[in-house]
Structure 1
Amino acid sequence: PLHLSIKEVGSDGFDGALVRRSSGVGGRILVNRNIRESGRKRFTTAHEIGHYLLHKDSDSMSCGAKEIANWTNIEVNPEHEADEFASELLLPSTEIQALIGTQWPSLKLVSDLAEEFETTLTATIRKYCDVATQSCAGVWVQDSRIGWFSPSPSFPHWIKVREEVDAGLLDCNAPLQEMVEVRASEWIPAFSEDKVSTLLQGCVSMPTYRGSLVLLWAKRPLKHRTAEDDLLEELDTDKFDSYRRERWPGKK
Structure 2
Amino acid sequence: MSKAESILRSYGVDHPKQIDLEAIAHDLDATVRYRKLDGSEARIVGNGSSAIITVKENGLRSRQRFSIAHEIGHWMERHGRGGFICAKEDISPQNDRDKGAEAQANAFASQLLLPSYLFDPMVAGLPLTLDTADKIGKEFQASLTATAIKLVRCSERPAVVVCHSQSKREWFVTGARFPEGIWAVTELDPETDAFELLYSSAAKGKTTIRQEPGSRWLSGRGAREATVRTQSVKVVEGVVVSLIALER
Per the normalisation by structure 1, the TM-score is: 0.77
Give yes or no for contact 2:152–2:161 (8 Å, CA) kept in 1. yes
Gaps of 5+ in 2: 1-26, 198-202
- SS of corresponding position for 1:114: helix
Instruction: Specify which of 110, 113, 118 is matched with residue 133 of structure 2.
Output: 110
Match of 2:215 in 1: 185
Q: Deviations over 1:10-39 (max 9, x none)?
A: 111211000103xx111110001132x100
Match of 2:226 in 1: 197
Match of 2:42 in 1: 16
Match of 1:96 in 2: 119
Match of 2:10 in 1: none
1:83-232 superposed matches below 5 A: 83-157=106-180, 158-160=182-184, 163-169=186-192, 170=194, 171=196, 178-190=208-220, 194=224, 196-208=225-237, 210-220=238-248
State whether structure 2 residue 51 is matched by structure 1 residue 27: yes
The one-letter amino acid of 2:121's match is: A
Farther off after superposition, 169-178 or 78-87? 169-178
Mapped to 2, the partners of 1:175 and 1:5 lie a distance apart of 35
Runs of 4+ off more than 6 Å: none
The one-letter amino acid of 2:209's match is: M
Mapped to 2, the partners of 1:13 and 1:189 lie a distance apart of 36
Deviation at 1:164, TM superposition (A): 1.9
Farther off after superposition, 75-84 or 169-178? 169-178
Gaps of 5+ in 1: 221-252
Deviation at 1:187, TM superposition (A): 2.2
Q: Deviations over 1:44-63 (max 9, x none)?
A: 00000000010347311000
The one-letter amino acid of 1:159's match is: W
Give yes or no for contact 1:108–1:177 (8 Å, CA) kept in 2. no
- State the superposition RMSD in angstroms: 2.4
Q: Deviations over 1:59-90 (max 9, x none)?
A: 11000112110635742110000000000000
- SS of corresponding position for 2:88: coil
% identical aligned pairs: 24
1:22-101 superposed matches below 5 A: 24-35=48-59, 37-56=60-79, 58-69=81-92, 71=94, 74-101=97-124
Give yes or no for contact 2:44–2:54 (8 Å, CA) kept in 1. yes
Mapped to 2, the partners of 1:175 and 1:207 lie a distance apart of 10
**Which structure's CA Rg is the greater one?**
1
The one-letter amino acid of 2:128's match is: P
The one-letter amino acid of 1:179's match is: I
Deviation at 1:100, TM superposition (A): 1.0
Give yes or no for contact 1:140–1:213 (8 Å, CA) kept in 2. yes
Give yes or no for contact 2:160–2:245 (8 Å, CA) kept in 1. yes
Give yes or no for contact 2:40–2:87 (8 Å, CA) kept in 1. yes
The one-letter amino acid of 1:217's match is: A
Per the normalisation by structure 2, the TM-score is: 0.78
Question: CA distance change for structure 1 residues 26 and 106 in 2, over 3 Å: closer, same or farther?
Answer: same
Mapped to 1, the partners of 2:157 and 2:46 lie a distance apart of 42
The one-letter amino acid of 2:240's match is: S
Mapped to 1, the partners of 2:80 and 2:139 lie a distance apart of 35
